[in-house]
């Protein structure tokens, strides 16, 4: 094992127990960063935490630009919702978001002003 400097052949030589291997595997699963074992068990581990955060920031920026243009453009009907960056271990298709109608927004803010 790369991180613990343990030879797995010691299991057959009688110098390593199954319990010890279980403890080492459990600690590998909790280890920060990328590991082959973790990627085999969970596809999301193919990306580091910073990669996931950058993808989320990029998606949020694209969405905020879309909403800004949608609110301030005369031709907002032609704009398409930005496609999020595909991430490992997540389903390809994302549900379409539902936007409120102008009447629902008017009712909501009218209710907020009456409080």
Residue 66 in tokens: 């879309």
Q: What is the pLDDT at residue 94? A: 66
Residues 79, 66: Cα–Cα separation, whole Å? 8
Give the closest residue to 97 by CA, choosing from 80, 77, 109, 74: 80
Residue 13 in tokens: 């030589």
Looking at every residue in the chain, the average pLDDT score rounds to: 84
Q: Could you report the per-residue pLDDT of 46-71, keeping only the tens digit for each? A: 787 888 899 999 999 999 999 999 88
Q: How confident is the model at residue 89 (pLDDT cuts 50, 70, 90)?
A: confident
């Amino acid at each position: 094992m790369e991180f613990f400097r343990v030879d797995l052949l010691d299991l057959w030589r009688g110098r390593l127990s199954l319990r010890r291997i279980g403890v080492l595997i459990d600690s590998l699963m909790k280890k920060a960063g990328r590991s082959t074992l973790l990627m085999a068990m969970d596809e999301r581990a193919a990306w580091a935490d910073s990669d996931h955060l950058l993808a989320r920031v990029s998606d949020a920026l694209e969405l905020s630009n879309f909403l800004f243009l949608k609110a301030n453009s005369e031709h907002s009907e032609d704009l398409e919702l930005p496609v999020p960056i595909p991430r490992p271990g997540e389903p390809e298709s994302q549900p379409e978001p539902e936007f409120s109608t102008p009447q629902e927004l008017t009712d909501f803010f009218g209710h907020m002003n009456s409080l």
